[in-house]
Amino acid sequence: MSYKKTGVLTETDLKKAHLLPSKERFEKGPVAVIECVEMIPCNPCVYACPRKAISIPQTITNLPQIDFELCNGCGACIARCPGLAIFVVHKNYNNKEAAISFPYEFLPRPKVGEIVDATDRKGQIVCKARVEKVIDSKANDRCAVVTIAVPKRYYNKVRFIKLKHLK
């Protein structure tokens, strides 16, 4: 896998590891995507999912698996992942945009309505995004969950943001 050389996952890496939902599942509505490829002892995502859609087969060092038909994209798993490797993607957020929810541990937090630079897995700017929601509850232990809207074609490319006033 190329990430072992670069440190950055690609869509090809994720497809080979069977971590991406099918194109048909992306069309149905919000769904969690776990971009975890390291076999380490970790399982908070399993206990975070109220629908029991996430499992780790056999031993705790195996990769988490999602039953994409059980997952409704609620996002309860996002802030629970210590590796910051879980995202919720809603490809059909509206006619023109996808929504992407991700963990955000930096201060200051982005503001709802703010226009930000959306970045890919390498941190390269892909497009502009609008902050739709910021959930910053004590239950998330200082890890906010931020949701942004991006042009639909970037639904599986955008994974984070850069705030303009922090450049």
14, 6, 107, 79 alpha-carbon torsion, rounded to 10°: 30
Residue 148: predicted pLDDT = 98
Question: How far is residue 90's CA from residue 75's CA, in Å, rounded to a whole number?
Answer: 11
Number of H helices, E strands in the chain: 4, 9
Q: pLDDT grade, residue 166 (50/70/90)?
A: low
**If DSSP codes are grouped into helix, strand and coil, which group holds residue 21?**
coil
Q: Compute CA 41 distance to the chain's CA centroid, rounded to the nearest angstrom.
A: 20
Provide the residue count of the chain.
167
Which has more pLDDT, 18 or 10? 10
Choice among 18-22, 74-78, 87-91, 150-154 with the minimum mean pLDDT: 18-22
Q: pLDDT grade, residue 140 (50/70/90)?
A: confident
Token pair, residue 22, equals 């099918």
Q: pLDDT grade, residue 165 (50/70/90)?
A: low
Residue 108: predicted pLDDT = 94
Question: How far is residue 89's CA from residue 99's CA, in Å, rounded to a whole number?
Answer: 6
Contact yes or no for 145/104 (Cβ under 8 A): yes
Contact yes or no for 159/87 (Cβ under 8 A): yes
Residue 95: predicted pLDDT = 97
Each residue's pLDDT tens digit, 83-139? 999 999 999 999 999 999 999 999 999 999 999 999 999 999 999 999 999 999 988
Which has more pLDDT, 142 or 118? 118
Question: How far is residue 147's CA from residue 160's CA, in Å, rounded to a whole number?
Answer: 10
Give kind and range of the element (H or E) at residue 28.
Answer: helix 23-28
Each residue's pLDDT tens digit, 39-74? 899 999 999 999 999 999 999 999 999 999 999 999
- Candidates 126, 111, 100, 125; CA nearest to 165 is 111
Q: Rounded to two decimals, what is the model's pTM?
A: 0.93
81, 133, 160, 10 alpha-carbon torsion, rounded to 10°: 70
For the cut 60, the answer to whether the pLDDT of residue 167 exceeds it is: no
